Each structure stands twice: as structure tokens, then as C-alpha cells.
Amino acid sequence: MKRRSFLRATAATSISLGSTGSVFAALAADNVYRKNIGIQLYTLRDDLKKDAAGTLKAVAAAGYKQVELFGFPNCQPLIDGAKDAGLAINSAHFEWDSVVNPKDEGMSDFKKTLDRAKEIGLSHLVIPYLQDGNRKTLDDYKKVAANANKAAALCKEVGIQFSYHNHAFEFEPKEGGKCGYDVFIEEFSPDMHFEVDVFWIKVGGREPSDLITKLTGRVSQLHLKDLKKGTKIPDFGSLPQDSFKELGNGMIPMEPIIEAAAKAGVKHCHVEQDYSPHPLESIKESVVNLGKL
């Protein structure tokens, strides 16, 4: 029996026994991303508001090894809960206006965020979003890129990788058919990297594995999430909440993405599901399915 067939058979047996942990353990050694799989905690935002400590213990019990924070630096309950649950914290989505719309040339507010990131041992900081006013034209994107490059240089001084997380709107054609993501590819300095969200890449009309390969050496992390089958793409606006699916329950093949990530030098992969009626159950299902893919 070939090794991959053996792994899938093992997974199937474990699932039939109802053992999420054993599925993950059986497949962890097969891939560095599976072995150290992360979760973007925005997925669990409602549960975390009610019980941060208990929710993070459930994350660890499901087989996740690390978390990516959101709302940094104002998220102390998430930091404390992750540490208590034995979860690594390598990355954070931070309050991005301190870079995108800085109040001064020296980015004094961002420097405070950077000091806090260094204090808790982060290795990655990520711009998570752009408001509509910062993305109307290609010149808007150029301004964002220039500010991001300044922040990336500050991050480099303290050993932190700075990156930008995409949605679909960056792929909407602007003047001359060019899109905002094209601007970022051209304008970002070597110190400035991408956190590729494969769901939104697909929604934007691109193939995630192809883009990751194109950006080899420039992609720091991935967000792994799945898209409802039959969704009409591209779509540069909002989507119905049921468009967000557990890994393996949608239309995005994950294995080529994971293989492309390894070749491209990606450091971390984080599961994310923006909407789910039952987030904890969804993240458990995603981690099991990730092992089967």
C-alpha cells in the first residue's frame, strides 16, 4: 500500500471511531503545515467574547498548535488564553490604521504596536484589511504600499516579518485593467511580504496555487478556507455567509496549495472560516478534513 493511501485509510478508520485527535496525530508528520496548523482567531470571535480561556483550550484540544491574533495589541485575553492552553502565538492582525493612515511621519502609533509585538515574541505582523477610502484608485494602493514598506523596514529592525492580507477587492480591475494587487506586487519592497488568503484569491478570479508559486519567496503565511461549490466568481464585493465552508466541503483543492506553499517558502498556515453557525464544530471538521486532503 502506498504511503498516501495508508494515511487516508488510517484517517478513515480514526474518523469512524470518532477520534479527531488520532486523525490529526496520524497525519501530522506528513506535512509541516499540518503538524503546526494554526487558526486565525477571528473565526471564533463570538465564542472568545463569552469565554476566551475555555474557547482556546477547545482549540488546542481540536489539534491546533498555534493561533493568529486579531485586534492586536488590544487583545490581552486572547494572548493569556492561548498561553494557558499551550498554543504558540507567532502572528497577529493588528489595528492597521497606524500604518495605512498614520498620524505622523514617524508612525509613532505603529512603533508602540511593534514594541508590544516584540515583547510577546511575535514573528509576524499583518495588515488585515483596507477600508473603502484606501482602495478606490491605483494611486490609493500605491500610497498603502509606500506606508507598508516603511512599516516593514521598522519590523525588520526587530526581526519581525511584515505582511499584507488580501480579500477579493484587490483584484478588481482599475485604470487600464490593472488591479490593486498588481500594484502591491510591483511596489512592495523585498522586506514586505504577502499573507495569502486562498478563499479570497479564488473569489477574486485567480488560482491560489498559481499565485503562491508566482510569489515564491514573498509569501509569509496562508489562510486556508473553503468556498461554497457553485459560487459565481469573480466577485469583488461581499458574499452570503454560507459561502464560507469547512476545509474539504467546498470548491478549493487544498493539496496543490499546500504543495505550492512548501515550494514557495511559506512559514505558517492558518485555518479561517469567517462565518459559521457553529464555529467550534467547523474548526474541528476542518482540521480533520485537512488530514484527508
pLDDT of residue 27: 41
Section 223-238 average pLDDT: 97
pLDDT of residue 30: 62
pLDDT of residue 293: 78
Per-residue pLDDT at 276 exceeds 60: yes
Section 11-21 average pLDDT: 38
Per residue in 53-64, pLDDT tens?
Answer: 999 999 999 999
DSSP states of the chain as a string? --HHHHHHHHHHHHHHTT-HHHHHHHHHTT-HHHHT-EEEGGGGHHHHHH-HHHHHHHHHHTT--EEEEEEETS-HHHHHHHHHTT-EEEEEEE-THHHHS-SSTT-HHHHHHHHHHHHHT-SEEEE----GGGSSSHHHHHHHHHHHHHHHHHHHHTT-EEEEE--SGGGS--GGG--HHHHHHHH--TTEEEEEEHHHHHHTT--HHHHHHHTTTSEEEEEE-EE-TT--S---S---GGGEE-TTSSS--HHHHHHHHHHHT--EEEE--S--SSHHHHHHHHHHHHHH-
Per residue in 158-208, pLDDT tens?
Answer: 999 999 999 999 999 999 999 999 999 999 999 999 999 999 999 999 999
